[in-house]
Amino acid sequence: MNKSAKIYVAGHRGLVGSAILRKLQQEGYTNLVYRSSSELDLRDHARVSAWFEEQRPEYVFLAAAKVGGIVANDEYSADFIRDNLLIQTHVIDAAYRFGVRKLLFLGSTCIYPKHAPQPMREEDLLSGKLEPTNEAYAIAKIAGIAMCQAYNKQYGTKFLSVMPTNLYGPNDNFDLRSSHVLPALIRKFHEAKLAGAEAVELWGSGTPRREFLHADDLADACLFLMNRYEGGDIVNVGVGEDLTISELAERIRRLVGYEGRIVFDRTKPDGTPRKLVDVSKLEALGWTARIPLDEGLRSTYEWYLEQTYQAGGVR
């Protein structure tokens, strides 16, 4: 991408979109366009079409999506499948109709089959049943990947899809009902420390294994792939290492300085037993993650504290 090319970052306020925007700015890209959801509702076909016709971006990073953890995915499954189908359909189609040179679509490793072989390879997508609590979101994202591939085949577009593992970092969602596990643990342990609570109760058994990638590493990978990857096949983005939820909780407990007990409620669901991705394809292209988990956890907790106390509330 030329440094002066017009680049649209959809979802620029979210965890992934904000990281991509920061990365582009750091690398000297000067013609960046973005709109908040109140300024441009990507679920509205007419508004999306009109905006693309007016702006004519050359490149698109499609990071806009409705996302959440186990509770949110399970309780608001209709919202997740509807909103994500609308957002990606309107943006991908407009990108084709208004001559976007290249589009990068954000999938997710949580859309792989629940019992996929570990580590999960790109070819494992659609090879088995999905995690039930995540099914609506997964089906929407799979449709987005299939749409990119179908447009490439029929119309000759250059739309690519990446499959990031569990993400964390600045601008994450720390709401306990809709967040993912890592930010939820940070908030739970911090509030337990302040309250002097004897124990923190966590869902499930603590045995599921998860891999965690800092959003800034993902942004770096996305820019790398946008500039160097021409294939239509999906590409995993991860670190190639995982740990149990229990181990993650212990790391965050120590980081926050909480001295109470951790209690797991085994009556609550665990979700997918393991979710480690095979990153050999991306490594063969020349990219590897750089931010160690402990360093990323520390900077994310610092960001959380700044937002909590400077803004007078939790983001």
Q: Quote the CA–CA distance of 260 and 257 in Å, as a whole number.
A: 9
Is 285 annotated to bind a ligand? Reply is: no
281 CB-near residues (< 8 Å, 6+ apart) = 122, 235, 236
Per the listing, tokens 């739309």 go with 159
Is 106 annotated to bind a ligand? Reply is: yes
Is 162 annotated to bind a ligand? Reply is: no
Is 188 annotated to bind a ligand? Reply is: yes
Is 180 annotated to bind a ligand? Reply is: yes
Q: Quote the CA–CA distance of 168 and 181 in Å, as a whole number.
A: 9
Is 303 annotated to bind a ligand? Reply is: no
| From 8, 59, 76, 137, active-site residue | 137
Is 99 annotated to bind a ligand? Reply is: no
Is 166 annotated to bind a ligand? Reply is: yes
Is 167 annotated to bind a ligand? Reply is: yes
Is 288 annotated to bind a ligand? Reply is: no
Q: Do 63 and 17 contact (CB within 8 A), yes or no?
A: yes
How is 275-293 classified by DSSP, letter by letter? E-B--HHHHHHT------H
137 is catalytic: yes
Could you list the beta-strand ranges (E) of the chain. Answer: 7-10, 32-33, 59-62, 102-106, 159-164, 166-168, 199-203, 209-210, 212-214, 235-237, 243-244, 261-265, 274-275
Residue 221 CB-half CA count within 13 A: 32
Is 124 annotated to bind a ligand? Reply is: no
Is 210 annotated to bind a ligand? Reply is: yes
Q: Do 287 and 219 contact (CB within 8 A), yes or no?
A: no
Q: Which amino acid is at 148?
A: C
> Which positions make up the binding site for NADP(+)?
11-17, 106-109, 141, 164-167, 180
* Residues annotated catalytic, as ranges: 137
> Which positions make up the binding site for substrate?
188, 203, 210, 270
> Which positions make up the binding site?
11-17, 106-109, 141, 164-167, 180, 188, 203, 210, 270
